[in-house]
């Protein structure tokens, strides 16, 4: 079995992540040079993990809840995504690029089992809507996508595509840091998102520290 690739997102940017026998990749770059979601080179990132000997990827991401009951602090493991308007990307040429893509069922189940052993209680299954960003969605856009998805984010869909094309098994753990624009009370702002993210960071890090050793061979 190959190595585990850990991809950290906005929820853990700048945080002290646990050390271990896994390859860590910060998808938004170094803390002092933030790469906006629509400018991330997902193919290059996933290829770097493959070149480091990884055969599976655990991605952590920050998302917005599309329903009022999906409140900040809720953790979930998505089982599908919609990325119809994502920027097209592929590491493949020719007809081999026509293929099915998605979260790896067995790897996803192992992540869920590991979370349970670590004392976490994530939601098992959700549809992730991949938006291009970097702006937040309008309330009208949120009403449209909420009919088809549970959470919205700007990275997981394209990252999953890139990983699967390179033969990497892919699963994600998402933390809801805000209710999507128009779902909660008041106007959504970056300040509110960052405050909620900071509130859940210590808990998220503790869960990761307990989870990661359970995902090693």
Q: 27-70 pLDDT, tens per residue? A: 998 767 889 999 999 999 999 999 999 999 999 999 999 999 99
> Which sequence spans correspond to the domains of the chain?
3-215
Return d(Cα 42, Cα 39) in angstroms, integer.
Answer: 9
Pair 181, 142: CB distance under 8 Å: yes
Return d(Cα 151, Cα 78) in angstroms, integer.
Answer: 9
Return d(Cα 62, Cα 8) in angstroms, integer.
Answer: 10
Q: What CATH number does the domain located at 3-215 have?
A: 3.40.50.1580
Q: Three-class SS of residue 102?
A: coil
- Pairing type for strands 3-8 and 22-26 reads parallel
Query: What pLDDT does 34 receive?
Result: 87
Read off the pLDDT of residues 112-161 as tens digits, 9 standing for 90 and up: 999 999 999 999 999 999 998 899 999 999 999 999 999 999 999 999 99
Q: Three-class SS of residue 50?
A: helix
The answer to whether residue 93 scores a pLDDT higher than 70 is no
> H-helix or E-strand containing 59?
strand 54-65
Return d(Cα 132, Cα 157) in angstroms, integer.
Answer: 10
Q: Three-class SS of residue 11?
A: helix
Pair 12, 61: CB distance under 8 Å: no
Joined together, the tokens standing for residue 33 give: 């040079």
Query: What pLDDT does 84 receive?
Result: 87
- Closest residue by Cα to residue 155 from 12, 27, 21: 27
**Global pTM value:** 0.91
Return d(Cα 81, Cα 129) in angstroms, integer.
Answer: 6
Return d(Cα 147, Cα 144) in angstroms, integer.
Answer: 6
């Amino acid at each position: 079995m190959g190595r585990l690739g850990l991809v950290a997102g906005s929820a853990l940017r700048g945080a002290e992540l646990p050390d271990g026998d896994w390859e860590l990749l910060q998808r938004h770059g170094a803390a002092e040079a933030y790469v906006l979601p629509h400018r991330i080179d997902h193919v290059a990132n996933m290829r770097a993990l493959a070149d480091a000997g990884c055969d599976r990827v655990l991605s952590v991401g920050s998302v917005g809840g599309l329903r009022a009951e999906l409140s900040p602090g809720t953790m979930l493991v998505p089982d599908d995504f919609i990325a119809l308007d994502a920027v097209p990307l592929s590491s493949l040429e020719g007809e081999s690029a026509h293929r099915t893509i998605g979260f790896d069922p067995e790897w996803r189940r192992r992540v869920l089992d590991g979370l349970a052993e670590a004392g976490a209680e994530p939601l098992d299954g959700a549809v992730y809507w991949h938006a291009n960003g970097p702006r937040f969605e309008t309330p009208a856009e949120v009403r449209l996508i909420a009919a088809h998805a549970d959470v919205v984010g700007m990275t997981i869909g394209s990252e999953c595509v890139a990983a699967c094309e390179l033969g990497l098994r892919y699963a994600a753990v998402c933390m809801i840091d805000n209710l999507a624009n128009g779902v909660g009370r008041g106007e959504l702002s970056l300040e509110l998102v960052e405050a909620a993210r900071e509130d859940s960071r210590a808990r998220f890090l503790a869960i990761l520290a307990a989870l990661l050793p359970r995902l090693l061979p």
